[in-house]
């Protein structure tokens, strides 16, 4: 793991790369090229049947992409990181690397709907299998393990219910069963948590969200040990799911302000959550920073701050929630999250639309639920916007 000599805020700017006389650009340039001159090292690797360690072809590696990967690895305390064309591609690579030979995967039943559908598709088209389990039920979790279980997949903060995974416990349990723990830490970002330090084997991010921070690219990342990343790298090369260098440039630029943005996201979301919890039109608010949150004490232990996401339920049904979204004048009704602007969406019509009402209830998403990705606007302006929308 990388030695952490400086604070995370400093490493957001300087981690992974320092200009030198041989690489003198203060900002990493965009290497917009598909291929490179073959050097002796690359030729020797190719002749030996190994992936070239040096730059060879941009599907396998690109200097701009590599610079952003080193910065992410530094923030996560990982030996290596790899960038992908999307968060789903990164999750797919992590899952595929764990399911060879009829293996079994355990996944949280509270996963993002898109990830659930991807895992179901992978298993349906192979000899692998998956069990979706409530990770808070120790009995059900232990019973789900078989002699073919090779991985446990969870989100550090579930989308959209914000259920907080007990990563140290899950890691110990997985390792005792000869399985690895894969954690999607998109909601937390490296500013709030480093899952590898808590025992996880792979950490995944949709870099479209907080790492980029400006809602202007699609991408994903995986980070872990060199041993774990070897299979990930092969999977990316085989599927061609590499990130474009211009997107990697934007990721690298976005990370430089990550620590500043996350402080604003966290402060604004807590202020809005506290307001919503007192509003008579709101039935329930889920935010890790609220004492009423079911895992508030766990959040105090496992997170450095409480994040920029919240979910609340208005009294009524999904139509009542739609009316609130339509009345907002500042927050934007849109999918995705982690950008500088506040985004609101209804899981029933977006991330979890493939589920029935009963299935959504079972994973903590009752009718009237609204997910909010709080941006970096003035919190009082956001509170005023939600107040007028809820007051009708």
Query: Where in the sequence numbering do the catalytic residues fall?
Result: 59, 112, 184, 209
Tokens standing for 352?
């979890």
88's torsion region: left (phi>0), alpha (psi -120 to 50) or beta? alpha
Instruction: Report the distance separating Cα 392 and Cα 386, nearest Å.
Output: 10
- To the nearest 10 degrees (0 to 180), the angle between helices 379-391 and 258-278 is 30
Structure tokens at 44: 């020797």
C-alpha to C-alpha distance for 189 and 207, rounded to whole angstroms: 9
Q: Are the CB atoms for 228 and 202 separated by under 8 Å?
A: yes
Three-state secondary structure call for residue 35: strand
Q: What is the C-alpha separation between 52 and 5, in angstroms, rounded?
A: 31
DSSP secondary structure letter of residue 49? T
Sign of the CA dihedral running 308, 314, 317, 321:
negative
What is the widest separation between alpha-carbon atoms in the chain? 70
Distance CA 25, CA 111 (A): 41
**CA dist., res. 254 & res. 238, Å (int):** 28
Number of residues in the chain: 392
What is the residue whose two structure tokens read 């490296």?
190
Instruction: Compute the distance between CA of residue 16 and CA of residue 195 in angstroms, rounded to an integer.
Output: 19
DSSP state of 196: G
Q: Where are the alpha helices (DSSP H) in the chain?
A: 8-14, 40-47, 63-76, 87-96, 113-124, 138-144, 167-176, 189-192, 226-239, 245-255, 258-278, 296-302, 318-327, 357-362, 379-391
């Amino acid at each position: 793991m990388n030695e952490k000599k400086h604070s995370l805020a400093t490493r957001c700017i300087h981690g992974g790369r320092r200009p030198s006389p041989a690489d003198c650009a203060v900002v990493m340039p965009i290497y917009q090229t598909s291929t490179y001159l073959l050097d002796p090292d690359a030729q020797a690797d190719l002749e030996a049947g190994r992936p070239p360690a040096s730059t060879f072809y941009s599907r396998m590696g690109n200097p701009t992409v590599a610079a952003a990967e080193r910065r992410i690895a530094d923030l996560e305390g990982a030996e290596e990181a790899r960038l992908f064309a999307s968060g789903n591609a990164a999750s797919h690579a992590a899952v595929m690397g764990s399911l060879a030979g009829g293996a079994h995967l355990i996944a949280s039943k509270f996963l993002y709907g898109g990830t659930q559908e991807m895992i179901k598709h992978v298993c349906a088209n192979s000899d692998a299998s998956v069990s979706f389990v409530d990770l808070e039920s120790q009995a059900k979790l232990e019973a789900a393990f078989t002699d073919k279980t090779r991985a446990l997949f969870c989100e550090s903060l579930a989308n959209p219910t914000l259920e907080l995974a007990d990563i140290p416990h899950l890691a110990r349990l997985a390792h005792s069963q000869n399985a690895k723990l894969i954690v999607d830490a998109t909601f937390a970002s490296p500013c709030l948590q480093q899952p590898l330090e808590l025992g996880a084997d792979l950490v995944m991010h949709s870099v479209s969200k907080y790492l980029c921070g400006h809602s202007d690219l699609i991408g994903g990342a995986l980070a872990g040990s060199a041993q774990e990343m070897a299979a990930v790298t092969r999977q990316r090369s085989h599927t061609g799911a590499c990130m474009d260098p211009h997107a990697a440039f934007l990721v690298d630029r976005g990370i430089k302000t990550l620590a500043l943005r996350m402080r604003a996201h966290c402060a604004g979301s807590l202020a809005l959550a506290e307001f919503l919890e007192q509003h008579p039109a709101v039935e329930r608010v889920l935010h890790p920073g609220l004492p009423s949150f079911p895992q508030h004490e766990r959040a105090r232990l496992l997170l450095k701050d409480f994040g920029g996401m919240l979910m609340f339920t208005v009294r009524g049904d999904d139509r009542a929630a739609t009316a609130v979204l339509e009345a907002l004048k500042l927050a934007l009704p849109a999918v995705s999250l982690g950008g500088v602007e506040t985004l609101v969406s209804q899981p029933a019509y977006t991330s979890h639309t493939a589920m029935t009402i009963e299935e959504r209830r079972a994973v903590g998403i009752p009718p009237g639920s609204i997910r909010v990705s709080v941006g970096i606007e003035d919190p009082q302006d956001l509170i005023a916007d939600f107040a007028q929308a809820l007051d009708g």
